[in-house]
Amino acid sequence: MSGCLCLPGYKKKVDPPISILLQKPTQPPPPPPNKNMDPVERLQSGFKQFKSEVYDKKPELFEPLKEGQAPTYMVFACSDSRCCPSVTLGLKPGEAFTVRNIAAMVPPYDKTKYTGIGSAIEYAVCALKVKVLTVIGHSRCGGIKALLSMQDGAADTFHFVEDWVRIGFLAKKKVVTEYPHTPFDDQCTILEKEAVNVSLYNLLTYPWVKEGVAAGTLKLVGGHYDFVKGVFTTWEK
Ligand SMILES: [Zn+2]
């Protein structure tokens, strides 16, 4: 028997979209993570929440990332727990190749030191072909405060910290010279941005970065996230 079997009020069955087929059957949502949990349980709980609310719901985002990454940005940000750039800037997985360290410092090119930073820059620029290198400072940065507090000739308190933040020494020199009567906290705020400028300058000591900027294929962008005022500013170099 052939012919149309449609009856009034009968709706033709529509195939579900592919994104629904890729999802697992609905499960009860995991309990929200909280800081009173056992620390490892907190991590597992956080992942379960991410998996059910993001990973399983956005196969269009995560499926292509299984094959590789082509991030637009390389981001340098502070290790400070209050300023994760993926959270504050809404950067999605696959969008930003990220280095985080004390005070978001970029040291100058040096093959005998800083190979962790140098290798990340080299891979981002030469292999991943990122388009934008951005260094993001932030308010109330402990590393910047340490840099500004250091007295000439005083012994270091830590094994590594002081030596690391000295990367921003020229920025500190500029701030204390140009703003000698400015209160310490305000000097810190200025230094947070000047240290970013030193890092942007240091990026140009890496030959592939210098070539990319000269060719117009790379852009250097400074940034500052003020989590006290809730303000994010950027500037280009
Ligand atoms: Zn910081």
Give mean pLDDT, residues 198-218.
98
Cα(94) to ligand 1 centroid in Å equals 24
The answer to whether the annotation marks 80 as part of a ligand binding site is yes
**15 assigned ligand-binding residue:** no
Ligand 1 centroid vs 100 CA: distance in angstroms?
Answer: 9
Give CA angle at 29 (16, 48), nearest 5°.
100
Examine the pLDDT at 203 and tell me if it is beyond 90: yes
Residue 159 labeled ligand binder: no
Give yes or no for a contact between 208 and 109, defined as CB atoms under 8 angstroms apart.
Answer: no
Average pLDDT over residues 186-212: 98
Average pLDDT, the chain: 90
Of the listed ranges 7-21, 59-73, 115-129, 155-169, the one predicted with least confidence: 7-21
Q: How confident is the model at residue 28 (pLDDT cuts 50, 70, 90)?
A: low
Q: Count of CB atoms within 10 A of residue 45's CB?
A: 17
Distance 186 CA to ligand 1 centre (A): 15
pTM, to two decimals: 0.85
